[in-house]
Amino acid sequence: MRYSLVVSVVLLSLPELASAQGTGAAPKQLPKLKTLDPKTPDGLRNLFKYAGEPPRFVAAHRGGPRKGFPENCVTTFENTLRHTPAMMEIDPRYTKDGSIVLHHDPTLERTTNGKGRVSDWTLQDLKKLKLKDPEGNLTKYFMPTLDEALEWARGRTVLVLDRKGISMADRVRKVEEHKAEAYAMLMAYTFEDAKTCHRLNQKIMMEVFIKNRTELEKFERTGVPWRNVVVFVGHSPPKDPGLCKLIHAKGALCMAGTSRNLDRQVIEKKVSSISALDKQYRALMAQGVDLIETDIPVELGQLLFGRRD
């Protein structure tokens, strides 16, 4: 097995339980979580080690938002895991008082009922806001802190922390505070960032960006071990058809994003269902892409790997 698939039973919340008891109905269990649990830093490296076949999970961009479930929200992460195993790409951002929350945009309007810049609000005030789903509907959910997300993720999934103004050193520090080296990865947009991360903590894995052979050769000279990285090759298949093969030869997996192209056709209902794009998604993987970062992890996970009830 490439990874440990741990099934957790998630019970109803207390209000839901009380409601069920009040009507005489038997309380129901929510679907089990399809979890990823590498358990140790070595387990995480083994999870992302190239072994001749792709791992059977997807990468949920911003956690997999959909109607009723906002992006960068722990409840959304859980909803994704009820349908498919997935790692979660998240967006940490500073507040006015130096806390770190999960929020993609620098401003609040698109995804909350607040206004202005995230960095102009204190954590206490941000916690009063409610999150919007992708259709702009206000939900009952609130903005989580990075600390809350890191604690929740232990034993459930792997988090990939984007940068969003948070330095590599500060992201490393947060991972260390939570002893999360077994289930948290950091995006390194530059090779200098990758070198900084490895110098500060050799146990932490990274997502690095390599789109051609020249960049591959430059990364090779950094001295950062290939076992410490997953390689993001772009939002479309690499123009060099041999790039993924070279990366695989180093023992690393290749990741590509479909949020800007294939996923849009599904979200904008340009196709009747995701199954109409089955050949296109599988063609991407046939070109050497092992992991797909997607805005529709529920649909794509079930398309590629089947339902796991």
Element (H, E) at 281: helix 278-286
Relative to beta strand 291-294, strand 5-8 is: unpaired
Whether 263 and 286 have beta carbons less than 8 Å apart is answered as no
3-state per-residue secondary structure call for 31-84: CCEEEECCCCHHHHHHHCECCCCCCCCEEEECCCCECCECCCCHHHHHHHHCCC
Instruction: Give CA separation, 175 vs 40, 45, 184, 249, 305, in Å.
Output: 13, 16, 7, 29, 30
pLDDT tens for 129-172 read: 999 999 999 999 999 999 999 999 999 999 999 999 999 999 99
Would you say residue 223 has pLDDT above 60?
yes
Q: 118 or 14: whose pLDDT is higher?
A: 118
Summary mean pLDDT of the chain: 91
Q: CA 199, CA 203: separation in Å to the nearest integer?
A: 10
pLDDT tens for 198-216 read: 999 999 999 999 999 999 9
pLDDT tens for 102-115 read: 999 999 999 999 99
Say which residue the tokens 């956690």 belong to.
Answer: 63
Question: Which of 22, 29, 25, 28 lies closest to 7, judged by CA?
Answer: 29
Residue 298 has φ and ψ, to the nearest 5°, of -60, -50
Would you say residue 19 has pLDDT above 80?
no
Rounded to the nearest 10°, the torsion over CA 264, 265, 270, 272 is -120
For residue 309, the model assigns a pLDDT of: 55
| Banded model confidence at residue 18, pLDDT cuts 50, 70, 90 | very low
252: left (phi over 0), alpha (psi -120 to 50) or beta: beta
Would you say residue 276 has pLDDT above 90?
yes
| Banded model confidence at residue 27, pLDDT cuts 50, 70, 90 | low
Say which residue the tokens 């259709």 belong to.
Answer: 135
For residue 263, the model assigns a pLDDT of: 98
Whether 77 and 159 have beta carbons less than 8 Å apart is answered as no
pLDDT tens for 236-267 read: 888 898 999 999 999 999 999 999 999 999 99
Q: In sequence order, which residues have a C-beta less than 8 Å from that of residue 53 and are 6 or more positions away?
A: none
Element (H, E) at 191: helix 191-200
For residue 239, the model assigns a pLDDT of: 87
Say which residue the tokens 């939002």 belong to.
Answer: 235
Q: pLDDT over 90 for what percent of the chain?
A: 87
Q: In sequence order, which residues have a C-beta less than 8 Å from that of residue 61 and are 6 or more positions away?
A: 89, 257, 259, 293, 294, 295, 297
For residue 28, the model assigns a pLDDT of: 62
CATH code of the domain made up of 5-19+29-87+145-305: 3.20.20.190
For residue 250, the model assigns a pLDDT of: 98
Domain ranges in the chain are: 5-19+29-87+145-305
Give the residue-averaged pLDDT of 227-240.
Answer: 93
pLDDT tens for 165-197 read: 999 999 999 999 999 999 999 999 999 999 999
For residue 15, the model assigns a pLDDT of: 35
| Banded model confidence at residue 306, pLDDT cuts 50, 70, 90 | confident
For residue 101, the model assigns a pLDDT of: 98
Q: Which 8-state DSSP code applies to residue 27?
A: P
